[in-house]
Amino acid sequence: MAKHQLLSTVERRETLPESYIRPESDRPRLSEVMTDNNIPLIDLTSPDKERVITEIGLACQTYGFFQVINHGISEDLLEKVMAVGLQFFRLPAEEKAKLYSDEPSKKIRLSTSFNVRKETVHNWRDYLRLHCHPLEEFLPEWPSNPESFKEIISTYCHEVRLLGLRLLGVISLSLGLEEDYIEKVLGEQEQHMAVNYYPQCPEPDLTFGLPKHTDPNAITILLQDPKVAGLQVLKDGDQWIAVNPRPNALVINLGDQLQALSNGAYKSVWHRAVVNAAQERMSVASFLCPCNSAVISPAPSLVADEDAPVYQSYTYDEYYKKFWSRNLDQEHCLELFRTPKLQ
């Protein structure tokens, strides 16, 4: 039997168990979150391509986040992905127990919180994590219950990958690099997915679904619940803003690797997921990740002649190991790879 129980298999609770309660200084302070601001919205079918490039570049500098509409993935598919994800978390406990694991290196696993072996306070989340590329390699191990899971999720993974690669091209151009610059540096990218399930929470002021973190990969494409808000983004280092869901939009955020490649011009911004008392919430995060042997360093053309690059070179393998060896909400992991200042 699993040591840590999935939230989605226990009965709804009236109070928050002790192990989920954050210290006073580390709570969401929901009343201070801005809800009338939002991250930039970009229409990918806009005929003015230059403008799309400029807008994405600006969003990457200021927010590290943007939403895209008319991204080419059909409304019908987005709905099916959310529906089959929810069906998965509604499966009987015995069915889900088969996939449970606390081991972060496992390529297909159902787990809870973030890293239950390391963390001191737990998070109000269950998640299914899947490796998705190359699809043929991982598909046989994916859940075959619900029956339509493999087909729906694999179609979505394929389309999300194409969208992600297209966005990496636009981001390269917005940095004044060749369109394929970033894709070449990242190598044959891995693709991971987290299907996040945040149950209704009796005391949402005392805990997080996911505490503040940055994503360690290159770019993340998030499909959010169209009706329930929960994602929040730190603006200018001090103001949390709620990303209000917009039907059919996908949320894009830059991970640490694009901050490094852009020599710090673009930001991998702190974000978090909060939970709520009224409704459960789902999100599906797709992560494009450099291949393990990719050597990441700031693009030479983005480093001024007289300056040292802001970050040292490293392999993604080194980075990823460091990321999972820590707590989510510690110092920005990229800080550990900053070029030391000369005295």
Residue closer to ligand OGA, measured from CB, 255 or 298: 255
Pairing of strands 190-198, 281-289: antiparallel
Residue closer to ligand OGA, measured from CB, 181 or 240: 240
Residue closer to ligand OGA, measured from CB, 112 or 283: 283
**Full 3-state SS string of 251-282:** EEEECHHHHHHCCCCCCCCCEEECCCCCCCEE
Residue closer to ligand OGA, measured from CB, 22 or 93: 22
Residue 126: name the closest of 152, 105, 101 by CA: 101
**How far, in Å, CA of 273 to CA of 233, rounded?**
9
Among 182, 273, 288, 334, binds ligand OGA (CB under 6 A): 273
What does 230 interact with, of ligand OGA, Ni ion, none (CB < 5 to 8 A by kind)?
ligand OGA
Among 283, 296, 316, 328, binds ligand OGA (CB under 6 A): 283
Contacts of 256 (CB under 8 A, 6+ apart): 214, 215, 216, 217, 268, 319, 323, 332, 333, 334
Residue closer to ligand OGA, measured from CB, 9 or 286: 286
- Name the site residues for Ni ion (rule: CB under 5 A): 215
Binding mask 215-234 for ligand OGA (x = CB under 6 A): x------x-x-----xx---
Residue with tokens 């042997």: 293
What does 254 interact with, of Ni ion, ligand OGA, none (CB < 5 to 8 A by kind)?
none
**How far, in Å, CA of 52 to CA of 46, rounded?**
7
Site for ligand OGA in 191-210 (CB under 6 A): 194, 196, 210
Between the CA of residue 260 and those of 122, 191, 330, what are the distances in Å? 30, 19, 18
What does 110 interact with, of Ni ion, ligand OGA, none (CB < 5 to 8 A by kind)?
none
Residue closer to Ni ion, measured from CB, 161 or 271: 271
Contact 288, 168 (CB under 8 A): yes
Cα 191–Cα 280–Cα 29 angle in degrees, nearest 5 = 95
Q: How far is the CB of 212 from Ni ion (least distance, A)?
A: 9
Residue 270: name the closest of 180, 338, 341, 330 by CA: 330
Does 183 bind ligand OGA (CB under 6 A)? Our answer is: no
Residue closer to Ni ion, measured from CB, 97 or 116: 116
Residue closer to Ni ion, measured from CB, 80 or 322: 322
Binding mask 231-270 for ligand OGA (x = CB under 6 A): x---------------------------------------
Between the CA of residue 132 and those of 110, 135, 154, 192, what are the distances in Å? 15, 5, 8, 5
What does 283 interact with, of Ni ion, ligand OGA, none (CB < 5 to 8 A by kind)?
ligand OGA
Q: How far does the chain reach from its first CA to its final CA, in angstroms?
A: 55
* Total chain residues near ligand OGA (CB under 6 A): 12
Residues that bind ligand OGA (CB under 6 A): 194, 196, 210, 215, 222, 224, 230-231, 271, 273, 283, 285
